[in-house]
Structure 1
Amino acid sequence: MIGVRRVAVLLAVVLSVSACASIPESSDPRAIRAVDESNATAPVPPPPDGADPLALVRSFVNASAAPESNHESARQHLTPAARRSWTPAPGLLIVDNVDTIPATQPTPLPDGVQMVTVQADKVGRLLPDSSFVPEVGEYQAQVRVELQPDGEWRIATPQPEIVASKGSFSTVYQAVPIYFLDHDSTGIVPDVRYVVSQPASTLPRQVIDLLTSGPSAGLESAMRTAIPPGVHPKTNPTDPGDGALEVNLSDLGAIPREDRQLIAAQVVFTLQSVNNARVRLKVEGAPLLPDGKDLRPTDLDSYETNNTARPDLPGMVVVDERLLSLDTAQPIQGPAGSGEYDVLRAGQSLDGSHLAAVTRVRGGVGVELRVGRYGAQLPELPVRGADMSRPTWRGKSEVWTVVDGRNVVRALDAGNNWVLRQVDAGQLTGDGPISDLRLSRDGTRVAAVVGGRLVVAGVSEQDGQVVLQRPITLPAPGVRITGVDWLKDDSLVAISDSNITPVFEVTVDGFRWVPFTAANLGQPLKAVTVANRGRVVVSDRSGIWESKETDDVWSLVQGSIGGGSIPFFPG
């Protein structure tokens, strides 16, 4: 439970704000699933004495983020009758820029009664499965506040849903990655959830409960799990006294050794964000793996690195319709570098073995897609259009592009040739043309620019058909998005049309948008890509620039390559 001092300090800060002032919302929340703290015994203090109705309601919005003891911190703001009857629905609405103002009434109110209007901007919702989804728009509600016999004001009509300020949510919650399996079950991929961060001793059980419950609703058809249905932790993760963290799962049934290895990877990587101890995995008290060895993430890092690009690949750049090596500014081997093809955009597989290129149709009109081995001829595929997006790879045997902003196609390596298949992107293209689309390196999600907005969707495979499911728009802060790439498995980098904030780091759920500095960059930005070790690379009208941190000044990558070029790294 959040300590008494911490809650008191939070309420004191809120009540120090003048009656009609906005609640400061400068901090970012940390995610973690809400836990049942109904048996907690530490007392929860009431609002400070003498709080007026406006301050009381603002304090209630702040206190509502804390779920401990059935939201006891928030209930302390209610009248005795409302305290007993309030049964808020699971999940919560997160708001920003909270104001409280006296509500105007057509008829006078009885003495000791005031109506307060709450106004705020919607940020998003924490769903019952502890995932966050953005939501935009204005929030407004009226609250009835009544004077109690002891002279204190209390809320008589709380809203049926929990509404919490972004600042208080950030204080109470922490973001944690819960690891599941990628599209071909060879690597692990994070599903970001939000959990209550205190007491820290509850975190291992919270994240293991989330893990055994499966992927969040928006990703349940895109991600997989090696943990059989119905498996749960037999006890809370504990320290047996030797510095390890013991996790004891219920019976797994008869599953292969490889599945046990995958379960170990899921558990160990899920726990790493909340506990740095060695992990001792058991099933019904017996070792999960034959050797019974305590594990750390380094023991299973092949599952995490399975979806990473080769670190020695230098990246490439399209200059004057030829492919050059980004580190030497010299043409690459083969016809893509020699000028035999008029290359407009290109993409390299994660292992560097293959290239896909969008090229002009020789002697014709429009563009076509070519795919083949690096340095060799790139045979054209039977797909053409007026335009195609930069190719994006799923492993080394599957590459995607968007034809004319609507038609998402994927090319599959069939051994002697590449065959084309359609992707059902109907849910994604409803709000405009797709100008950029990037597959996550684990192949479970796409990030796309649709009608100038950033959208993320899950990649679901159903009866041999690939479907982009449950697209979620990540609202940008007052800018038009022009390009995107994956920074990490759980974050993106996006470029915009803004001179002030041309580049952003964005969490995959859209909760945080962190701008990079604009120093040295000039609009329009032509492209964005992510190099080894998370270096962000962009091109503008003057050259190619890189930055390692959001507050770094952009530095030239290759001074001999001019503006308007299109850099790219594998993926």
Structure 2
Amino acid sequence: MSHRARPRTRRLRALLAAGLVTLALAGCSAIPSAGAALDVRQVTDQVEQTAPQAPQPGQQPDQIVRGFITASARPDRDAAAGTSLAAARQYLTPQAQVGWPSPDTPVLLLADGYRTDSDETAPGSVTVTGPSQGLLREDRSFAPPPAGETDPYTWTMTLQQIDGEWRISNPPPQLLIQAGDFAGAYQRKVVYFLDASGTVVVPDPRYLVVSSTEINRADRLMDLLLDGPSAALDGAAVSQFGPEAALRSNVTADADGVLRVDLTGVDVSTPALRRALAAQIVWTLYTTSPRIAISVDGEPLDPTQLVYTVATVSSFDPDRVAGTGQVASDPYYVDPEGDVVGLQDPTLEWPQVGVRISAAALSAATGAEAAVATDPQGGQQLLIGPATADTLQAALRADTLTAPVFSRTGDEVWVVQNGATRPEVYRVATAVTAGTASRVRVDSTALAGIGAVTALALSPDGVRVAVVAGERLWVGVIAPVQSATPTDTPETAGPQPDDSATQSPATVAVTDLVQIRPDLIDVGAVTFSSSRELTVAGATSPVSRRTLFSVGVDGRDLTGFTTTGIFNDVQSLAVSAGQPPLIGFGDRIWQLSGSATDGQWVTPLPSAPSLNGSSPFYPG
């Protein structure tokens, strides 16, 4: 399997033409999430109803520049179909139109309040200035602005008079669109790759121009699938499509609406490889068409499975709970005495550990338990135990520990120790034999220099990691360490790790950390609500409360939860599919009643006016 993105799509197409040198922008709908599904055809109609305006006679240079930027967000046709941005091209000189935009032109999101300043000493010179809100790369993955970036984007356009009308002679190297126009021109679509085991698909969001046909959408998605993972998944996700993989022909649809994908140059030598190949294709295309037929060199990929649906490859679901154990989704919280109890059923008590617990977690896959508690010797300790354990075993000690999180399979607990001084991530096995816990250090070099680490979260697919550092939100990936060598346990200023635990060298690393949503400050708790989205507690200004937000894993989309009923900073949160979100603030637990945008936060117990406690959690 290939780890890295490859050059632009390798196609065996008889219809390849010069039109493909224009910007490769195509459109697709978003994978359904917490919001209502969006019909791509409706968006297409909206785009057609607001067709871009061509330059008007007599417009001044600054008007031409602003009109050009507006028209750049109104693609009139799909680039892959042969033409794109025809209206925007009319704002350019004939020479500048040649080859514009190029296939690798990035798309820069410019703040809606950008400036255009004309140079009075140089007629026809207009400078565009404004904050950047991110970039779409060549592969149409989203890149947030670099952490700490304060300088605004700036570009000076030179205009010439053509037949008495001003036209731009030097368009910027990026396609500029206003952030407010982005949703009308682009939609999120998700391409799926594989985790290191090849048994779980991993979402890779992309943003594509709205397309007019299902076939075009499917064709463009297959292009992206063949090209490999985006930079955000570098080294962490793999693909069943090797360097020789290609489409033998365009994607088609038969009279029954079944999409037909015919490939060549792929390894289908084993059933596992065939299933992995099918999973990537079906998960990528199923929102375009629910039924997909896959062939290789004209022959069915699997003669016993002529048509695939997402149910056919449901075992690859990135949000599926691993294993066969069915742990009830009952919520828990830490009561004022520092014990873990069931929120709805107070009889669901954890073992008494004799010390105050500050945060806890329960594996949905295995039922294993983990808690961070005070250490009688000073600092904090990680306590772990299997399901139905009579007691919890101390597995790690440090000055401070983040709230514990379980791996996808439930056989490991992850924590960050000493996040304010020398942050180190540890994986601790939940199996305790003869009082000994296996502990593996995670290469945490990427955490250095980004601030005090106060929270860690793992994605359901096991590939992404979210970190709160310096009160900001960061997202990266968990990648294998190519050559692991034994290392000593790092020294700490306070209590040392438990001497009874065994040490192993780092085999994986937290890497490629990127700060997302720089507009969120005072970030506190964070968790993955799905493999595609995060739920995070943060503020949008120094004077606002810390409230709840839903954030895409790439940081592009941000949606605020209702704040009705929140009167203090949110300290903790818990989410689970099909269950009401929970938050903790003011030493009490609150539950969302109603929708995420229009509901309100209320006490979770109708029989009581309030519930005292903190750190709610669902099995995860």
Q: TM-score, normalised by structure 1?
A: 0.84
Change in 2 beyond 3 A, CA 1:378/1:54: farther
Greater CA drift, 203-212 or 551-560: 551-560
Size of the alignment, in residue pairs? Answer: 520
2:234 corresponding residue in structure 1? 220
Q: In the alignment, is the contact (CA less than 8 A) between 2:550 and 2:561 conserved in 1?
A: yes
Among 531, 534, 550, the residue aligned to 1:505: 550
2:565 corresponding residue in structure 1? 520
Q: In the alignment, is the contact (CA less than 8 A) between 1:183 and 1:443 conserved in 2?
A: no
Q: Distance in 2 between matches of 1:223 and 1:378?
A: 38
Is the aligned partner of 1:453 residue 2:478? no
Q: In the alignment, is the contact (CA less than 8 A) between 1:497 and 1:525 conserved in 2?
A: no
Structure 1 residue matching 2:383: 3-state secondary structure: strand
Among 577, 582, 586, the residue aligned to 1:537: 582
**Structure 2 portions without partners, runs of 5+:** 1-37, 41-50, 485-506
Q: In the alignment, is the contact (CA less than 8 A) between 2:527 and 2:536 conserved in 1?
A: yes
Output aligned runs, 1:191-270, within 5 Å: 191-200=204-213, 201-270=215-284
Q: Distance in 1 between matches of 2:207 and 2:100?
A: 24
One-letter amino acid of the counterpart of residue 205, structure 1:
D
Structure 1 residue 168 displacement after superposition = 3.4
Q: In the alignment, is the contact (CA less than 8 A) between 2:188 and 2:205 conserved in 1?
A: yes
Is the aligned partner of 1:440 residue 2:459? yes
Output aligned runs, 1:197-346, within 5 Å: 197-200=210-213, 201-273=215-287, 275-304=288-317, 307-308=320-321, 310=326, 312-319=328-335, 320-333=337-350, 335=351, 338-346=352-360
Change in 2 beyond 3 A, CA 1:564/1:522: farther
Change in 2 beyond 3 A, CA 1:497/1:100: closer
2:534 corresponding residue in structure 1? 492
Among 484, 508, 519, the residue aligned to 1:466: 508
Greater CA drift, 225-234 or 495-504: 495-504
Structure 2 residue matching 1:554: 3-state secondary structure: strand
Deviations 1:101-142 (A, max 9, x none): 33345xx34xxx332221222011111122101115422222
Change in 2 beyond 3 A, CA 1:283/1:44: farther
Q: Distance in 1 between matches of 2:217 and 2:158?
A: 37
1:569 corresponding residue in structure 2? 618
2:404 corresponding residue in structure 1? 391
Output aligned runs, 1:41-190, within 5 Å: 46-65=54-73, 66=75, 68=79, 69=83, 71-84=85-98, 90-105=105-120, 108-109=121-122, 113-135=123-145, 137=150, 138-149=152-163, 151-190=164-203
Change in 2 beyond 3 A, CA 1:522/1:45: closer
Q: In the alignment, is the contact (CA less than 8 A) between 1:497 and 1:523 conserved in 2?
A: no
Q: Distance in 1 between matches of 2:171 and 2:450?
A: 36
Q: In the alignment, is the contact (CA less than 8 A) between 2:319 and 2:460 conserved in 1?
A: no
Structure 1 residue 437 displacement after superposition = 0.4
Q: CA RMSD in A?
A: 2.6
Q: Distance in 2 between matches of 1:396 and 1:415?
A: 14
One-letter amino acid of the counterpart of residue 603, structure 2:
L
Change in 2 beyond 3 A, CA 1:522/1:306: closer
Greater CA drift, 226-235 or 447-456: 226-235
1:477 corresponding residue in structure 2? 519
Structure 1 residue matching 2:316: 3-state secondary structure: helix
Q: Distance in 2 between matches of 1:375 and 1:437?
A: 26
Is the aligned partner of 1:419 residue 2:464? no
Structure 1 residue 207 displacement after superposition = 0.8
Q: Distance in 2 between matches of 1:129 and 1:532?
A: 31
Percent identity (aligned): 28
Greater CA drift, 89-98 or 481-490: 89-98
One-letter amino acid of the counterpart of residue 387, structure 2:
Y
Structure 1 residue 508 displacement after superposition = 0.9
Q: In the alignment, is the contact (CA less than 8 A) between 1:315 and 1:531 conserved in 2?
A: no
Structure 1 residue matching 2:446: 3-state secondary structure: coil
Q: In the alignment, is the contact (CA less than 8 A) between 1:436 and 1:450 conserved in 2?
A: yes
Structure 1 residue 202 displacement after superposition = 1.0
Structure 1 residue 504 displacement after superposition = 0.8
Q: Distance in 2 between matches of 1:104 and 1:534?
A: 58
Structure 1 residue matching 2:529: 3-state secondary structure: strand
**Structure 1 portions without partners, runs of 5+:** 1-29, 33-42
Q: In the alignment, is the contact (CA less than 8 A) between 2:89 and 2:97 conserved in 1?
A: yes
Change in 2 beyond 3 A, CA 1:236/1:344: same
Structure 1 residue 377 displacement after superposition = 4.1
Structure 2 residue matching 1:298: 3-state secondary structure: coil
Structure 2 residue matching 1:264: 3-state secondary structure: helix
Structure 1 residue matching 2:111: 3-state secondary structure: strand
Q: Distance in 2 between matches of 1:191 and 1:236?
A: 22
One-letter amino acid of the counterpart of residue 565, structure 1:
S
Q: In the alignment, is the contact (CA less than 8 A) between 1:402 and 1:409 conserved in 2?
A: yes
Structure 1 residue 427 displacement after superposition = 1.4
Structure 1 residue 187 displacement after superposition = 2.0
Deviations 1:138-195 (A, max 9, x none): 222222223332x322112322332222233322221111112234332222111112
1:557 corresponding residue in structure 2? 604
Q: Distance in 1 between matches of 2:327 and 2:91?
A: 56
1:430 corresponding residue in structure 2? 449
Structure 1 residue 565 displacement after superposition = 1.0
One-letter amino acid of the counterpart of residue 300, structure 2:
P
1:366 corresponding residue in structure 2? 379
Among 399, 407, 424, the residue aligned to 1:407: 424
Q: In the alignment, is the contact (CA less than 8 A) between 2:264 and 2:296 conserved in 1?
A: yes
Change in 2 beyond 3 A, CA 1:399/1:131: same
Q: In the alignment, is the contact (CA less than 8 A) between 2:260 and 2:292 conserved in 1?
A: yes
Q: Distance in 2 between matches of 1:288 and 1:425?
A: 42
Q: In the alignment, is the contact (CA less than 8 A) between 2:114 and 2:131 conserved in 1?
A: no
Greater CA drift, 295-304 or 411-420: 411-420
One-letter amino acid of the counterpart of residue 496, structure 1:
G
1:13 corresponding residue in structure 2? none
Q: Distance in 1 between matches of 2:100 and 2:303?
A: 51
Structure 1 residue 348 displacement after superposition = 1.1
One-letter amino acid of the counterpart of residue 525, structure 1:
V
One-letter amino acid of the counterpart of residue 474, structure 1:
I
Change in 2 beyond 3 A, CA 1:183/1:343: farther
Q: In the alignment, is the contact (CA less than 8 A) between 1:501 and 1:517 conserved in 2?
A: no
Structure 1 residue 423 displacement after superposition = 1.2
Structure 2 residue matching 1:144: 3-state secondary structure: strand
Q: In the alignment, is the contact (CA less than 8 A) between 2:360 and 2:372 conserved in 1?
A: yes
Q: Distance in 1 between matches of 2:327 and 2:252?
A: 38
Q: TM-score, normalised by structure 2?
A: 0.78
